[in-house]
Amino acid sequence: MASNNNNNIKIHEHFKVVPPPSTQTSTTPLTFFDIFWLRFHPVERIFFYTLPNSQSHSSFFYQNIVPKLKTSLSLTLQHFLPLAGKIIWPSDSPKPFIQFNPNDDDGVSLLIAESDLDFNHVIENSPHETSLSNSFVPHLESTDSFASIISFQITFFPKSGFSIGISTHHAVLDGKSSTMFLKAWAYLCNKIIETEESPILLPKLEPSFDREIIKDQNGLGDTFASNWIEIMAKMFPDEKGNERCLKIFPFQPKLDDYVRATFELTREDLSKIKQMVLSKWEIFDTNDSKPQTLSSFVLTCAYSLVCLAKAIHGVEKEKEKFAFGFTVDCRARLEPPIPNNYFGNCVWGHLIDTKPCDFIKEDGVFLVAKSIHEKIVMINGKGALEGTNDAFDKYTSMTSEGIEIIGVAGSNRFGVYEIDFGWGRPEKVEIVSVDRGLTIGLAESKNGKGGIEVGLVLNKHAMDLFTTLFLEEVGN
C-alpha cells in the first residue's frame, strides 16, 4: 500500500474501470446548459456507510465488497457510456463535446484506499476540520486537451465501514443526473449480490442522452463557447492558441482555520419558520400575494442564508452586501417538457431580487423567503430561461460591487439517503465541494421524516456565530 499526500490515507489499488467490451466509439454533443459550466470546479460528494462487525474486517471488504462494487460499476457504465469518455475540444470544432473511445484508454478512475481516522469523528455533524473530508474524494483529471467526466474513491475504515467519494464534471452532469447514476450503480450492485446473471436496469434509471430535445433558439451554446475562449484570452494573454484549454479553474478549497458542519431543520422547525414568515407577510405586504404555503426549499434557504450572512457580517463587519443564486431543474419547465431521465445538465441559475443588505436585517428571513418564493413564481410563469442573455454580466457586476454571492448545491428531493449498494443505507452524505465557495449544501434528512440537512464550510469564528444564530430561532 502506498501513502498519498494525506497522512491518514493509504492507497490500496488504482483501477481504470471500463464498460464491458465494446468496439463502438461514440460522441455526445454538449448543450448550452453544459457549456456554461465548462471550467467550473467538480462537484464532490461522499457517501459514508457503516458495516456490522461481521463485515467490517479487511478480508471481507477487499474480497467481497470491492469486487462487487467494481463489477457493478463496469456494468453500469455500459448504460452511461459517455461518462467513461472525455470532454475534448478539437481546433476544428466550434464547441467542445464528449468522446468515448474504447481503444483510447478511456474508462473511469477508481481508487481503493484505507484510512486510520476515527470513522465516527469523520461523520459527525458538529464542526470539524474541513480537510478531513477532502481525503475521501478523488481527483478529477483535466488538462489542456481533455477533461475526465467522473471519478471514484472507495475508502475503507477498518472495523467501522467505508465511504464512496465521487467527483463529477459539472459540464456533463447536474445533481439529478449524478444521483441517477449512483442509484443505477447501487441497483445493479444489489442484483450482483443476489447473483443475478446479467441484471437489467429499471426503466426509470435508464438515461436518455438525446441532445436533440434541447432547443437552443438563441444560439447560447455558441455564445458560451465564445465566452470561454474570450475569458481564456483575457486571463492568459501569453498562451495564445490555447483558448480551448479544458483545465478546470483552480477554485481552491478553504482549509486553514475553516471548519465543516451539518445542521438539520426538522419538519417542526420548518413549520415554525413558515408561520413566522407568513405572519410577517400580512404586516409588510397588504396585496393579495401572500401564498397559502411555502416550500421546504424556500424556508430552508431563507433561514440558512440569513444566519450565514449575519454570521459573516458579525465576524467581518465590512461584509454587509449579499445576494443569493440558485439553480432550477428545467426538465419539466421547458416547452415541450423533456423526459425526467434526460442525462446531462438541465438546470439554470437565477439570482433573487433582494436588496444587498436585506440578509442582515432584523426581518431578513421574511424578506429573503418572499424574494425566493416570488422568483420561483416568476420562473414557473415566464419560463426557466428568463434572463439567460445577461447572466454572465449580472454576476460580474455584482462581484465588482463587493457583493458576496451565496450559492446552493444539492437538493432535498434527490433521495441521496436511499442509495444502498447492498450493505445498508448511508450513515452520512456530504457535499464536499461547498468548501470551494460560499455555498450551502442541501439533502433530505436521513430519518426520512421530512426535514432537511444543511451542510456548510465557514471560518471557525463565523461558524460559532452561525451555530448560535441557527439554533436560536428554532430552539434545537
C-alpha cell recorded at residue 319: 461584509
Report the DSSP beta bridge partners of residue 97. Answer: 29, 88
* Three-state secondary structure call for residue 327: strand
What's phi and psi for 11, nearest 5 deg? -85, 125
Neighbours of 2 (CB within 10 A): 10
Residue among 12, 169, 170, 373 flagged as catalytic: 170
Calpha distance 314→466 (Å, rounded): 9
Residue among 363, 420, 461, 464 flagged as catalytic: 420
C-alpha cell recorded at residue 120: 465516527
170 is catalytic: yes
Instruction: Please give the DSSP secondary-structure letter assigned to residue 453.
Output: E
Concatenate the DSSP letters of all residues of 110-174 into one string. Answer: EEEEEE-S-HHHHT-SS-EETHHHHTTS----B-SSEEE-EEEEEEEETTTEEEEEEEE-TTT--
390 is catalytic: no
On whether the CB atoms of residues 19 and 74 are closer than 8 A, the answer is: yes
User: Please, which residues have CB within 8 angstroms of residue 449's CB and are 6 or more apart in sequence?
Assistant: 266, 267
C-alpha cell recorded at residue 353: 431580487
Calpha distance 387→397 (Å, rounded): 15
Helix ranges (H only) for 236-332 are 267-284, 296-315
By DSSP bridging, strand 86-88 and strand 128-129 are unpaired
User: Please, which residues have CB within 8 angstroms of residue 400's CB and are 6 or more apart in sequence?
Assistant: none
On whether the CB atoms of residues 78 and 22 are closer than 8 A, the answer is: yes
C-alpha cell recorded at residue 421: 449498494
Give the residue from 220, 200, 87, 70 showing the smallest Cα distance to 149. 87
Give the residue from 15, 122, 136, 125 showing the smallest Cα distance to 77. 15
Residue carrying C-alpha cell 502506498:
2
Q: Looking at the annotation, which residues are catalytic? A: 170, 420
